[in-house]
Structure 1
């Protein structure tokens, strides 16, 4: 009933500084908290209560609510600390011994990205043994003697049969970097880092753009964030580039350079440094959208800009240093928010249920808080702290997600109801609250430095009439002391004194430029149009579409058509997409592509043959069918090497990915070069997919598991089309 009450009132009230001492009020609902002398707390709301036993580590502020929620997060973490995990897709659902953290009440398993983000948000401080054990559970060697041996981070089951459609498994290193005090684990980290980066360089790196392909990190429900037509065709995702996933690769390369330097391996260190620097440059070149002043969430495989943004990707870009200076400040300030908190994507989708769409996720809010601290934005810092606190208080647990407008845990809107899935004590939400306390308020960074950046607006809640507040953590205590004068909007360290494990920080007030949150953004993007139709007409194409559309030809912005229009014909393949633009100037997600122009075929038995009509660059792809699993899960995306030998040229080797499909469809495409009249021979060889990993011998939820590795697809015609002269795009 609480959710129905919250859903009944849309969030239209202005933001106010909260006086959350013994509770809070939100849209007519009151949540109160009491504590006793023994350190127990009772959190109560109209339809229930939760009693929280005294915990090992205490926050001592003027807000019993803040302190009690810190105790609740520790109690949630205790419940997530298990000796066995289970998932219906592994070992037929039988318990798997693991002294580690499970993902949440409804998710009693360990997933690479959930665990890694949670550990990076500070869980490594609270139980390093469980953190390491969980991370080791996500490492695997290879079970097939003929496959490339090594130690790899696992990409969990996912879109189109997992990696390399999704490639954010490198988030594992974001977590593992904090746990190198264990020598044996540190050795595994270094081996897995070298092997995983080398493998991603082979299969997911695009030398033309300088970026890594793959799905957005965490945002892995395709229809929520990608065009609706990718529900049954994920090659677009596998061909595209995501901001978050590329920043995670940048972080991994930076770590690899650092570790190589510690081992005095100068060549490896310089290689990783060079790759990291080039990747940072490529991210800033391709993802920055100047007219929005933000980094795009993802772009098409042909560099098509997508008018879509995600808070995790932007936050990681800022905290990693990929976004620096003015761009770091601008991209966070331009990302919109609502009174309840910041959405994980923007703009929202009016035709999709609430989950990633139109939702607040506390762990993403915690990364946005870190980003706000990086750029010294007290308004955003306070907003994210309040959002995470409010959500935990309203539902007596650290829930996975909330609806954006009401912060409800479920809002009934018929087919659009949601969040579709939600879980109490979700691990990365638990970590988010702990990080809000440790770093967001008390300033303890992952590198061990204490650097408070506390908005003055939160002083009434946290200090009340006190001059000091304190925090207990597993390895230290921190006390913050108020300055006599607070003429400013941000409290930072003035003097720091450390005695043993106790750090005392005397604060000082400074004034920083703090623009208000962007609260005037439209909520929804327009609905994407169908693919435009093209008809050859002399020296141009006649284009027809559904209404007024913005056209993109081979990733480049072209003309606008209203019902119909013309485009000049190109010498090579022309792939045309369309977006719909609304009155606010927001573009929809892109339509499917309509490709026209000269395309040759090479069919028959392998090897196949083809003669180049002219010197230049060519695109190659295959028609295929992969019925080895459903579109949304599995580990059997078929990954092949296409070996190309053309007269007068060195042999070329390019990957083709053939994810799970519902019918015959095109594979991902690759690029090669040939000279006039050269006879080219094409051969297909197996590459690598997740089913080769020893870990997936326990997979019982689909093919490629207990019955052995599987890397197969039915391959039909091979298609070859000329690319525009001097470019890597058509």
Structure 2
């Protein structure tokens, strides 16, 4: 992949990556001016130049700019200035695909020990924002969690959270749609097909037509009812409890559906129509199974999980899973009717969307479960994006302002978890013991989740292999708002929104009326102005 070129007037920071996190000389400038950042330079890791092209966000309304605009700058700092780090080859380049230079990738966060070779974090950070802002770093972040097999083939790493692997497929397809990188696509398709084949062999339940395994977000036992939780086990890790590998969860199955759709798109691009057709058939069957077994028509929403052989075998737990509901909308598992009903009926805590609601009996407002009624900004952001995709500017605005308020109260630091009632930084309880967990600072996917709300929600950036379509969602009294210097392939885009709502009333591109669609083959700089209504 070639380095993105110079664009007059585009805000870009030049970063020098060594062995640790990028150190900043203060927050990224609110003016969008370039700013150099560097770490001390260990002799074994000479500095590498990394270029991100970072658009400038501007609200005409001063209060919006000082709150939402300031948090956008804080999110750029969190993702790029703090968590873009050097990928030691022996630790991270098992696939032999990371580009050196720059040799940089996005780690999970500043509060964790190294190494941080975690599939879920890498995939989500690339998917949220990194592939758009820094294509080389986005690719490196994805390759950092892939292994090369003895026969030379590629597969997403097989760690002890095997259900995490599938989100990589979704993120890899998104990366290609953003960048058009054909070399990446070929390798990503090979890694994705090998990975999904392994998971199908080991984890597909033919009786239900669903995939077994814990939920996307909840690797801690605090995220599950009793059973499978049982007093006396003591461990916080979900798989240490009987039959948790047999659960069939909403979020995980929606991700498998998204992975099949992604594989079909990859196969189409690689001109493998037979394989694309097979992937689509699998996706259709899985979507039907999710709606047959997990949709609750009486409640107008999806249940959380179907129990394995834990005493409630085959029963549907009716709890609300925030990530699962978001994925059902974002991947199109939920049709228009289901989307409207679930968005209407979703429970919000005072400070946002939580992992699982309501409290399991062993937890409470005073002792919230670490993966139960507590706000993980990444999950909250996914739901906010789903609200925009579902045509709900009111709920989308609530999600953005809610997260901005949480981060502002924690002095601009994107923490791992927040209390859903007070908004305090709070790691929650895991097993009901006397130890409250810590909420780690400088969480990369919390920062990239906010960027997702801006890029994919507010401006509605929707990528396919041959175009970028804008489907903005502008809450009342937010406009006008502009995103200047957006990088897209060989173009730079200035996007300006006015009005309110989620329906495009008019659009001009470089002054000429048209649809809000930008073909992938263009060059140069272009201005898109969109007026929205209800």
Same fold by TM-score greater than 0.5: yes
Partners of 2:427 and 2:259 in 1: CA distance:
39
Partners of 2:247 and 2:403 in 1: CA distance:
32
TM-score (structure 1 length as normaliser):
0.55
Are the counterparts in 2 of residues 442 and 471 from structure 1 also a CA contact under 8 Å?
no
RMSD over equivalenced CA pairs, Å: 3.3
1:402-417 equivalence runs, <5 A:
402-410=418-426
Report the counterpart of residue 65 of structure 1 in structure 2.
67
Report the counterpart of residue 122 of structure 2 in structure 1.
115
Question: How far has the Cα of 1:35 moved from its partner?
Answer: 8.5
Partners of 1:433 and 1:83 in 2: CA distance:
24
Partners of 2:493 and 2:56 in 1: CA distance:
10
Does 2:423 correspond to 1:427? no
Partners of 1:482 and 1:503 in 2: CA distance:
14
Report the counterpart of residue 543 of structure 1 in structure 2.
none
Are the counterparts in 1 of residues 385 and 452 from structure 2 also a CA contact under 8 Å?
no
Are the counterparts in 1 of residues 125 and 445 from structure 2 also a CA contact under 8 Å?
yes
Are the counterparts in 1 of residues 462 and 469 from structure 2 also a CA contact under 8 Å?
yes
Does 2:359 correspond to 1:348? yes
Aligned mate of 2:382, from 367, 376, 383 = 367
Partners of 1:370 and 1:37 in 2: CA distance:
26
Are the counterparts in 2 of residues 243 and 283 from structure 1 also a CA contact under 8 Å?
yes
1:277-676 equivalence runs, <5 A:
277-301=284-308, 302-352=313-363, 353-354=367-368, 355-395=370-410, 396-410=412-426, 420-447=437-464, 448-456=468-476, 459=477, 462-463=478-479, 467=480, 469-475=482-488, 476-483=492-499, 490-499=501-510, 500-510=524-534
CA distances 1:159-180 after superposition (whole Å, capped 9, x unpaired): xxx44xxx23110011111333
Are the counterparts in 2 of residues 243 and 287 from structure 1 also a CA contact under 8 Å?
yes
Does 2:165 correspond to 1:169? yes
Question: How far has the Cα of 1:358 moved from its partner?
Answer: 2.1
Question: Tell me, what secondary structure is at the counterpart of 1:339?
Answer: coil
Which structure is higher in helix share?
2
Are the counterparts in 1 of residues 429 and 436 from structure 2 also a CA contact under 8 Å?
no
Are the counterparts in 1 of residues 126 and 141 from structure 2 also a CA contact under 8 Å?
no
Does 2:186 correspond to 1:187? yes
Report the counterpart of residue 229 of structure 1 in structure 2.
230
Question: How far has the Cα of 1:351 moved from its partner?
Answer: 2.1
CA distance 1:413–1:38, change in 2 (3 Å): closer
Question: How far has the Cα of 1:122 moved from its partner?
Answer: 2.1
CA distances 1:557-610 after superposition (whole Å, capped 9, x unpaired): xxxxxxxxxxxxxxxxxxxxxxxxxxxxxxxxxxxxxxxxxxxxxxxxxxxxxx
Question: How far has the Cα of 1:150 moved from its partner?
Answer: 4.4
Are the counterparts in 1 of residues 119 and 157 from structure 2 also a CA contact under 8 Å?
yes
Structure 1 unaligned runs (5+)? 1-32, 42-54, 92-96, 484-488, 511-730
CA distances 1:16-56 after superposition (whole Å, capped 9, x unpaired): xxxxxxxxxxxxxxxxx998878699xxxxxxxxxxxxx95
Question: How far has the Cα of 1:134 moved from its partner?
Answer: 1.9
Question: How far has the Cα of 1:444 moved from its partner?
Answer: 2.2
CA distance 1:130–1:479, change in 2 (3 Å): closer
Question: How far has the Cα of 1:278 moved from its partner?
Answer: 0.7
Does 2:268 correspond to 1:261? yes
Which structure is higher in strand share?
1
Q: Which shows bigger deviation, 385-394 or 325-334?
A: 325-334
Aligned residues: 437
Report the counterpart of residue 103 of structure 1 in structure 2.
108
Are the counterparts in 2 of residues 401 and 419 from structure 1 also a CA contact under 8 Å?
no
Does 2:159 correspond to 1:156? yes
Are the counterparts in 1 of residues 494 and 526 from structure 2 also a CA contact under 8 Å?
yes
CA distances 1:508-559 after superposition (whole Å, capped 9, x unpaired): 321xxxxxxxxxxxxxxxxxxxxxxxxxxxxxxxxxxxxxxxxxxxxxxxxx
Report the counterpart of residue 212 of structure 2 in structure 1.
213
Are the counterparts in 1 of residues 414 and 443 from structure 2 also a CA contact under 8 Å?
yes
Are the counterparts in 2 of residues 69 and 393 from structure 1 also a CA contact under 8 Å?
yes
Question: How far has the Cα of 1:340 moved from its partner?
Answer: 1.5
Structure of greater Rg: 1
Are the counterparts in 1 of residues 28 and 77 from structure 2 also a CA contact under 8 Å?
no
Aligned mate of 1:130, from 132, 137, 157 = 137
Question: How far has the Cα of 1:314 moved from its partner?
Answer: 0.9
Partners of 1:177 and 1:368 in 2: CA distance:
21
Partners of 1:260 and 1:411 in 2: CA distance:
42
TM-score (structure 2 length as normaliser):
0.74
Does 2:277 correspond to 1:270? yes
Question: Tell me, what secondary structure is at the counterpart of 2:362?
Answer: coil
Partners of 2:220 and 2:423 in 1: CA distance:
21
Partners of 1:303 and 1:197 in 2: CA distance:
24
Report the counterpart of residue 204 of structure 1 in structure 2.
203
Question: Tell me, what secondary structure is at the counterpart of 1:172?
Answer: helix
Question: Tell me, what secondary structure is at the counterpart of 1:445?
Answer: strand
Question: How far has the Cα of 1:241 moved from its partner?
Answer: 0.7
Report the counterpart of residue 28 of structure 1 in structure 2.
none
